[in-house]
């Protein structure tokens, strides 16, 4: 009787108290990816003045190129890819560049104006865009390397020189200054 009662209590305890290995819950929220972009050729883009953002004006939806990524909003979310056609992945939040893109950029494009002035935009082909990106990335990399070198060298230049004891040489003896050390700049 005791074994049956003990077994029943053990079973009740196992059911009511979650075991850590059983307690692991996995919740996955499926965020749908945008459909692939089907175009007969890579889209031509233009650079929006004073933004650093390229846009594809002849595509029916917003398609941006910034920082080496193709960006597109879809169903209230942002996605990015290295290839304009596919491979888009969800990007949490709104990309920082988007704050520089005026909401009426398409209208400005059609009317050849920007901030009330005439805007003679020039098309940039896909190969040109890739070349511009590679050149900018190289320049940024070299600039970063230069600034890191300057940062590394700066402490050496700012570090005060430590006074080294003078070696005694045969020859005439010099009088020592009252400040000690017997060398210039010791004051």
Within-domain flag for 143: yes
- Give, in order, the Cα–Cα distances in Å from 68 to each of 12, 31, 92: 59, 23, 18
Cβ atoms of 91 and 97 within 8 Å: the answer is: no
Within-domain flag for 79: yes
User: Does the structure show a pLDDT above 50 at 150?
Assistant: no
Within-domain flag for 182: no
DSSP conformation class of 108: H
Domain span holding position 118: 33-150
Rounded to an integer, the average pLDDT of 111-115 is 93
* CA–CA distance, 51 with 66 (Å, rounded to integer): 10
Query: Helices (DSSP H) in 85-183: which residue ranges?
Result: 105-110, 126-158
Total of domains in the chain: 1
Within-domain flag for 107: yes
* CA–CA distance, 14 with 10 (Å, rounded to integer): 6
Within-domain flag for 39: yes
User: Does the structure show a pLDDT above 70 at 61?
Assistant: yes
User: Does the structure show a pLDDT above 50 at 64?
Assistant: yes
pLDDT reported for residue 176: 42
Q: What is the pTM of this model?
A: 0.60
């Amino acid at each position: 009787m005791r074994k049956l009662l003990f077994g029943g209590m053990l079973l009740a305890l196992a059911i009511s108290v979650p075991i850590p290995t059983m307690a692991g819950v996995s919740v996955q929220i499926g965020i749908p990816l945008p459909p692939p972009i089907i175009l007969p050729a890579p889209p031509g883009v233009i650079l929006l003045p004073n933004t650093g953002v390229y846009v594809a004006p002849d595509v029916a939806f917003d398609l941006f190129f910034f920082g080496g990524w193709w960006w597109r909003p879809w169903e209230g979310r942002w996605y990015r890819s290295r290839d304009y056609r596919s491979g888009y992945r969800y990007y949490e939040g709104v990309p920082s560049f988007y704050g520089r893109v005026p909401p009426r950029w398409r209208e400005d494009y059609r009317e050849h104006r920007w901030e009330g002035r005439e805007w003679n935009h020039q098309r940039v082909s896909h190969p040109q865009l890739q070349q511009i990106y590679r050149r900018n990335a190289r320049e940024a990399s070299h600039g970063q390397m230069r600034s890191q070198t300057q940062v590394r060298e700066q402490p050496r230049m700012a570090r005060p020189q430590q006074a080294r004891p003078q070696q005694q040489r045969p020859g005439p003896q010099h009088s020592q200054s009252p400040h000690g050390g017997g060398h210039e700049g010791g004051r």
